[in-house]
Chain A
Amino acid sequence: MWDSPTVADLSNFLSLIDDDGDLAAELIAAFRLCINEQMHKLTDAFDCQDHCAWRDAAHSLKGVYLNLGAAPLGDLCRRAQHAYDENQDNKRVLLSEIRREDARLQAYLVQFSAVRTPPCAREVGPPVFPNPAFESVRDA
């Protein structure tokens, strides 16, 4: 029984690009740019109480997270997208959850970039596809 959900499972993403490490690095760089841009939009939409902009930014984030394999973040963004017309308090909670989960994902991606090959990661519990290289970086 895991206490924490999977941050990301990159196995599908990697299989889509035939486990090409260089391409994965390029795409992850593009992923980071997209996330930064959309996270700014989501934050701006929250500050300006712009419901439509909030919904669109949450939708865009959802698609990008899902395609990388960050399902929990995809689900959070799905919730945010549906909650576009809710009050600011509810949105604030969602926004902070998304930011927190994104920080975990970014940390995981840093580790991934360092070892290049982990197909998945779990914060608690064994990885779905054990990878000694990844485990050694995590233990260090």
Chain B
Amino acid sequence: MTIDVYERHAAPALIDRIAKISKTPQGWGVINIRRNYLRTTTNEAFMLVLRPALIEAPEAYVYFVDDKNIYVVWRDHVQKIFRLTRATIGNSLVRAGLDINPSIIVTYFDAPQQGGTLLAMLRADYPPVPHSADQEMRFNPSQNTEDEDLMMIDNAAPLLHASGEQILRYHDMRNQKIHRKYLSLLVVEDQVFTQRLLCEILRGIRLRNNNESPIIESTGTLGEGWRIFLKKAPDICFIDLNLLDGSGHMLARAIKEVDPGARVAIVTANAFDEEMSVAQENNVDHFIAKPFNKQRILNCVNHYIETSKGPSRVGFADCR
């Protein structure tokens, strides 16, 4: 086992590493650790505690990127080492008196699936800075505010941007899905009649075991839909194609870039082959043609429940 620790120029080294491993099919794990929740320790002390958790990895890399973020990258035993590091951090490194779920502190990224997203996020947060050989790269919080330092999702509308902090918060929220006892749904549809009709259909869905109705957020614009998606990490996003401020395809693609596991259903009256092929390219999960059919919508929800780790614990859904 080898563990390489980067304290100087950690961000560019991390970006290089993510670029390499995101091209490999599998076997790499990446976590982000929020340092502001941890006890104030030196990097050496941190490594002393963390090292045993990484013992089974043939190679591992720890990047002290800045005063807020530590990244750990390792090869093999991905799930096991992730659980070990999270437990180690939760048990030994969290600040005293801070009663917080370790999944808030540690965010896991699946390298083959989310490497591209992580790379884009890191490049946005840590742009290359010209520096002399002995100049240490330093994190400057003033250059990284949520409003100023925005990441553009590749080829998407200018509306579809997110800061690295927003994406991290999204992944935190996504990791909380397993604890939800209800479905969280997003409807993006610009026609008020159609939006209300779809919301009413969805509102009638009940989880079989606890009879919980879903929480539904709705909007008519791409920009607002994107904002809600990042903030709420909904279980399923129902997106119309022709929106006031852009195409639903762009929103679907941006969502899948941030989280390939997010569920997206396109709802459209344009059920043409070309629209379907664009949706397929974007890895959209469902394509629902108008007029709406209750059973198709219910199938879409049940497919999510069957194949996710979310509210599946409370069973399938029925319509009222």
Q: What residues of chain A have their CB less than 8 Å away from a CB belonging to chain B?
A: 12-13, 15-18, 23, 26-27, 30-31, 33-34, 38, 56, 59-60, 62-64, 66-69, 74
List residues of chain A with CB within 8 A of the CB of B191.
34, 38, 60, 63-64
User: Do A74 and B200 touch (CB < 8 A)?
Assistant: no
| CB-based nearest B residue for A20 | B200
Q: What residues of chain B have their CB less than 8 Å away from a CB belonging to chain A?
A: 190-194, 196-197, 200-201, 204, 240, 242, 268-270, 290-294, 320
| CB-based nearest A residue for B269 | A63
| CB-based nearest B residue for A32 | B193
User: Do B269 and A59 touch (CB < 8 A)?
Assistant: yes
List residues of chain B with CB within 8 A of the CB of A60.
190-191, 242
User: Looking at B190, B194, B204, which has the most chain A CB atoms within 10 Å of its CB?
Assistant: B194
Q: List 7 A-B contacts (CB under 8 A).
A: A16-B294, A27-B200, A30-B196, A38-B191, A64-B191, A66-B269, A67-B290
9 shortest interchain CB distances as A-B pairs: A63-B269, A30-B193, A66-B291, A31-B193, A34-B193, A66-B290, A62-B269, A67-B291, A63-B290
User: Do B242 and A56 touch (CB < 8 A)?
Assistant: yes
| CB-based nearest A residue for B294 | A16
Q: What DSSP secondary structure best describes chain A's contact surface? A: helix
User: Do B192 and A33 touch (CB < 8 A)?
Assistant: yes
On whether A12 and B196 interact (CB within 8 A), knowing A56-B242, A59-B269, A66-B269, the answer reads: no
User: Do B291 and A12 touch (CB < 8 A)?
Assistant: yes
| CB-based nearest A residue for B297 | A16
On whether A27 and B193 interact (CB within 8 A), knowing A18-B320, A56-B242, A63-B268, the answer reads: yes
Contacting residue for B269 out of A17, A69, A74, CB 8 A: A74
| CB-based nearest B residue for A26 | B196
Contacting residue for B193 out of A15, A33, A59, CB 8 A: A33
CA A26 to CA B270, docked complex, whole Å: 26
CA A38 to CA B240, docked complex, whole Å: 16
Contacting residue for A16 out of B190, B201, B240, B268, CB 8 A: B201
List residues of chain A with CB within 8 A of the CB of B294.
15-16
User: Do B204 and A69 touch (CB < 8 A)?
Assistant: no
CA A56 to CA B240, docked complex, whole Å: 13
List residues of chain A with CB within 8 A of the CB of B240.
63
List residues of chain A with CB within 8 A of the CB of B291.
12-13, 66-69, 74
List residues of chain A with CB within 8 A of the CB of B192.
30, 33-34
CA A60 to CA B240, docked complex, whole Å: 10
